[in-house]
Amino acid sequence: MSGSFRRSSCVWAVAVLVVLVGSPTPVRGQEPMRILLTNDDGIEEVEARLLPVAGRLREIAEVYIVVSNQDRSGTSNMLAISRSVSLESRLEYRSEAGSGQHLLEVHSVDGYPTDCVVLGVYGLLKGRNVDLVVSGPNGGANLADGWFGSGTIGAARAAAFIGLPAVAISGFDSSEPAQVAALAEWVSALARSDAVRTMPPLTYLTVAVPRTPPGEIRGVRVASRARLLSGFDVNRVAEMDTDDGPTAIWSLRPVTRQELASPEEDFSLYAENWIVVTPMTVDEHVDRAPGPIDELLTRLPPW
């Protein structure tokens, strides 16, 4: 994470921590919010992971679950629509509003998590405002460099890219009722909080929730990401002759060094049972200020 991003986000990071531990405030007066909920685990995990959260969110919002029709873990910002002219969606379930709960719909899509966000916002909910995109909860913690390939975080990043507040929830992998209920309650409070309402453009939040009973979670911290990746271990494991010529099979494994994590970064705090919130940005420009740009220009070769 660049130093320029840390400086530019520090004020927001402090604000995030303040509102996360404070009382939530509604985003829209009496009108229900509209929340798009997705994941990268696909339709098979909706009942276990998403419906408990959706059930709590339905008390404050219309909830539209839009997920892939198969597991798409580790697909980052992959877009099927970049290679195809069409996508297929299916309405899997619909529950009308009533008894203190708003509308709930579940749709499956033959695409990736980012496709689900794009199709949900511009297709299924075309002409209707979406207040928030929640991606997850996902079983993997997506700490440190793990965000880079995460489909869960990729979906939130895509939502921020098209101008929507977005949150990615990772690390939670429990079916124990008390833990599920506690997470659903906290996500609902987050959805109504000023941390979401005041989110700057092109930014989103990633949240890592420890896999521990609710009473053992120490609280919420805002932290930057550790940089643990030191390279890749790549090995040729087989060779063969084919009709197309010599072919090799390779194994690839990222190499990380956990000792590189500082005590105040996400990796360390998560290990100490803190919920870790990291503000992220989709704007990958190093710095938009004239100084660094002009300085770089002097180093470029003339044409």
**The pLDDT of residue 30:** 61
How far apart are alpha carbons 268 and 254 in whole angstroms? Answer: 19
pTM of the model as a whole: 0.79
Check residues 83 and 122 and name the one with the higher pLDDT.
122
Find out whether the peptide bond into 292 is cis, omega within 30 degrees of 0. no
Mean pLDDT of the 106-126 span: 93
Q: Which residues 6+ apart lie within 8 Å of 251 measured at CB?
A: 233, 234, 235, 237
Lowest mean pLDDT among 59-73, 74-88, 211-225: 74-88
Give the domains, in start order, of the chain with CATH numbers.
Answer: 3-226+261-299 (3.40.1210.10), 227-258 (no CATH)
Q: Is the pLDDT of residue 82 over 70?
A: no
Lowest mean pLDDT among 70-79, 132-141, 204-213, 268-277: 70-79
Mean pLDDT of the 171-198 span: 87
Instruction: Sort 234 into a burial class: Cβ within 10 Å, 0-12 / 13-18 / 19+.
Output: exposed
Lowest mean pLDDT among 3-12, 194-203, 253-262: 3-12
How far apart are alpha carbons 125 and 154 in whole angstroms? Answer: 20
**The pLDDT of residue 8:** 41
Which amino acid does the sequence have at 211?
R
Inter-residue contact 206 to 278 (CB < 8 Å): yes
Q: Is the pLDDT of residue 45 over 90?
A: no
